[in-house]
Chains A and B, each alone.
Chain A
Amino acid sequence: MLRIENLFAKVEEKEILKGLNLTVKPGEIHAIMGPNGAGKSTLGNVLSGREGYQVTNGIVEFNGKNLFELEIEERAREGLFLAFQYPVEIPGVSNMEFLKASVDAKRKHHGQPELSAVEFMKLARETSKRVSLDAAFLKRGVNEGFSGGEKKRNEIMQMMLLEPSLCILDETDSGLDIDALQVVANGVNEMRSPDRSFIVVTHYQRLLDYIVPDYVHVLANGRIVKTGGKELALELEEKGYAWLEEEAV
């Protein structure tokens, strides 16, 4: 599914990722934890292709393709999905129009016909129910005036509509109350399948009570410094990151 080898990346001349290695196989859930500034968000941004992140070394292979040869939108159409830590508000652009454009773009890419407005409406209404988002949100501007929880549910709704093969959740739990956290986690669990993988980036162990990972990695100083099972998350919760950072130096 995803193979990252010796990845180095810079933001504004500052090296953030320093030789990161990670392999994700189909159906697996990987949690990435780590202290602030370790490069967790950078990893998601580099993988999705955000401007301003300069890859200086390394290989990323996604479903057998060189990821860095693909434009941002091509990566999405190929099945990579990044759930944003801070979903963007775009007033004036209707959520519905945006969602349809993205679903159609993916369908076209895979040689399927675009959905009619009626077909799409039906799909969108069903999906919004799955994430407990009132269908009225479809009519608003993209994330316009949404609460933190509503934005995150909108992210999960997009994930469900696009049916990606690799989902990266970038601190999706930040700023969520328990109810919203459960909706998000249920959405992810519903989406679990043998051919779909997840990378869950989080600060806190709490989310991993709901989304149980196969692997937990600690990202510190731009590299994965420790890998373990789900019990590693509990150990981190107890001991913090400092002992690992020392080991990493």
Chain B
Amino acid sequence: MSDFQQQALQLAAQQQSPSWLANLRNQAANDWKNIVWPTRKTEHWKYTSLTSLQKNLPEQWASANAGWKNEIDFIALDAIRLVFVNGVFDAQSSSELPPEVVLFSQANAQQQAVIEQHLGSVVEGKQHIFATLNNAWLNEGVLVHVPRNQHLTRPVYLVQLTTASEKSLSVNQRLLVVLEDSAQAEIIEHFVSTNTPQNAFVNAVTEIIVGDNAQLQHYRLNLEEENLQHIGGVHANLMRNARWRGFTLAMGSKLKRIDYQLNHRGQGAELDLQGVYLPRNNQMVDYHTNVQHWVPHCTSSEVFRGIIADSAQAIFNGRIYIHKDAQKTLAELSNKNLLTSNKAEVNTKPELEIYADDVKCAHGATVSQLNATALYYLQSRGVSRAEAEVMMSFGFINELLQQIPEAAVHDYLLPRLALLFGRDQTLLEMAE
């Protein structure tokens, strides 16, 4: 076993956890002992080194910390808000929870049954070893359970905040969303850290079941500062005629790996996922998406764009797997990258595996330069070359930001990203 594996098991043993989760935990701890620790030769981790994780072994579980309140801006949204500070629920900063939203530790018998039925049913632990670890570390989580035909009128807004600490911390996050048939919900996962040196490892796993005719809008925003290490994933099953509209954004950090594993399990399901990643300095971001078409008549559309600056590194691996029964599939994947420095690096790989014969698929990955004609056009109007480059870089991701359906998320991100690119915010807001 690697040092990290051993340390992780010790941390698991230190935890207090509800007894009804014991089976899942114990099973996962056993599996964790037997995993093969990834190296650069492991296909799924080819470009993503876990060395920094080995070098910064998490020494303890994080505890709550109150010294953050003026440092974090929430998304301005009338929402069911849940705030976790270093993995610990902060009731004071959170909304009163409606019956559809509950912490694992406070789940009643009926809710426990829902959790036991679904938790771990979507994620494939063998491939996602850190999801196995998340199971082994499980002591708290959030269940969003929307019964048949019900619509959550307010979005569920989860804020996962990490603050500074002297010793390196470990934080385990878990979200389970169950939308029964024809239910509707909007979920925003917002990961953030204070702007102080962190030494934390966050493991965050989300499992989602979108039932027949159910609709979900889902956001995952990884806006943590650069010292933080984050490995996590979103794993979902889409049932018959389910609709998924997703957006994800990641700023870089020392180690940031996000997996999207989306399964079309019922005919007629549709998913639309857009993503933006912006690593800079020495940061990295790794997105692995895997869309599995198991059944016929489903559509999937994925668009990811990244701007990689300075000496940063990005990895994008976009897999579409069309099983032999999945006729009449429509699947698209596009990944475009912009390198703004000679030292920036991107490894992008679209993977298409098709075992059905009547499908329509398109995929493409590019490493782009800024369009020379467009640069010339801007310059010919007096805009300096440098400013034209910045305007166009921002435009490259702004094209995706403009399509965010939740206005509050858009309005939160736009000025922050504009600032990152040195754009005039007032004018952008007026221009919107």
Task: Name A's B-contacting residues (CB within 8 A).
Answer: 48-51, 71-73, 75-77, 81-82, 84, 87-88, 90-98, 100-102, 105-106, 109, 117, 120-121, 138-139, 141-142, 158, 162
Q: Is B356 an interface residue (CB 8 A)?
A: no
Q: Is B351 an interface residue (CB 8 A)?
A: no
Report B-chain residues with C-beta under 8 Å of the C-beta of A75. Answer: 380
Do A117 and B430 form a contact, CB below 8 Å, given A90-B395, A97-B424? yes
**Pick the contact of B428 from A50, A72, A90, A94 — CB < 8 Å?**
A94
Report A-chain residues with C-beta under 8 Å of the C-beta of B423. Answer: 97
Report B-chain residues with C-beta under 8 Å of the C-beta of A95. Answer: 431
Tell me which of B45-53, B261-269, B312-320, B396-404 binds A.
B396-404
Q: Give the distance in Å from the alpha carbon of A91 to the alpha carbon of B370 in the complex.
A: 12
**Pick the contact of A92 from B372, B380, B398, B430 — CB < 8 Å?**
B398
Chain B binding site: helix, strand, loop or mixed by DSSP?
A: helix
Whether A76 and B430, one on each chain, are in contact in the complex, defined by CB atoms closer than 8 angstroms, is no
Whether A50 and B391, one on each chain, are in contact in the complex, defined by CB atoms closer than 8 angstroms, is no
Whether A117 and B427, one on each chain, are in contact in the complex, defined by CB atoms closer than 8 angstroms, is yes
Q: Is B392 an interface residue (CB 8 A)?
A: yes
Residues of B352-371 contacting chain A, CB below 8 A: 371
Whether A72 and B399, one on each chain, are in contact in the complex, defined by CB atoms closer than 8 angstroms, is no
Whether A97 and B399, one on each chain, are in contact in the complex, defined by CB atoms closer than 8 angstroms, is no
B388 → A minimal CB distance (Å): 8
Among residues of A, the one whose C-beta sits closest to the C-beta of B305 is A92
- Max chain A C-beta neighbours (<10 A), residue from B377, B387, B402: B377
Report A-chain residues with C-beta under 8 Å of the C-beta of B383. Answer: 73, 98, 101-102, 105
Whether A120 and B380, one on each chain, are in contact in the complex, defined by CB atoms closer than 8 angstroms, is no
Among residues of B, the one whose C-beta sits closest to the C-beta of A84 is B377
Among residues of B, the one whose C-beta sits closest to the C-beta of A139 is B431
Among residues of B, the one whose C-beta sits closest to the C-beta of A88 is B377
Whether A92 and B424, one on each chain, are in contact in the complex, defined by CB atoms closer than 8 angstroms, is no
**Pick the contact of A73 from B384, B395, B426, B430 — CB < 8 Å?**
B384
Number of interface residues of B (CB under 8 A): 32
A110 → B minimal CB distance (Å): 11
Among residues of A, the one whose C-beta sits closest to the C-beta of B372 is A51
Q: Is B382 an interface residue (CB 8 A)?
A: yes
Report A-chain residues with C-beta under 8 Å of the C-beta of B380. Answer: 48-50, 72-73, 75-76, 81-82, 84
Q: Is B4 an interface residue (CB 8 A)?
A: no
Whether A72 and B431, one on each chain, are in contact in the complex, defined by CB atoms closer than 8 angstroms, is no
Whether A92 and B397, one on each chain, are in contact in the complex, defined by CB atoms closer than 8 angstroms, is yes
Contacts beyond the supplied A92-B395, A105-B381, A121-B430: 6 A-B pairs with Cβ under 8 Å: A48-B380, A73-B380, A76-B379, A88-B377, A94-B428, A98-B381
Whether B397 and A90, one on each chain, are in contact in the complex, defined by CB atoms closer than 8 angstroms, is no
Q: Is B89 an interface residue (CB 8 A)?
A: no
Whether B378 and A98, one on each chain, are in contact in the complex, defined by CB atoms closer than 8 angstroms, is yes
Among residues of B, the one whose C-beta sits closest to the C-beta of A91 is B399
Whether A141 and B382, one on each chain, are in contact in the complex, defined by CB atoms closer than 8 angstroms, is no
B400 → A minimal CB distance (Å): 8
Q: Is B64 an interface residue (CB 8 A)?
A: no
Report A-chain residues with C-beta under 8 Å of the C-beta of B431. Answer: 94-97, 138-139
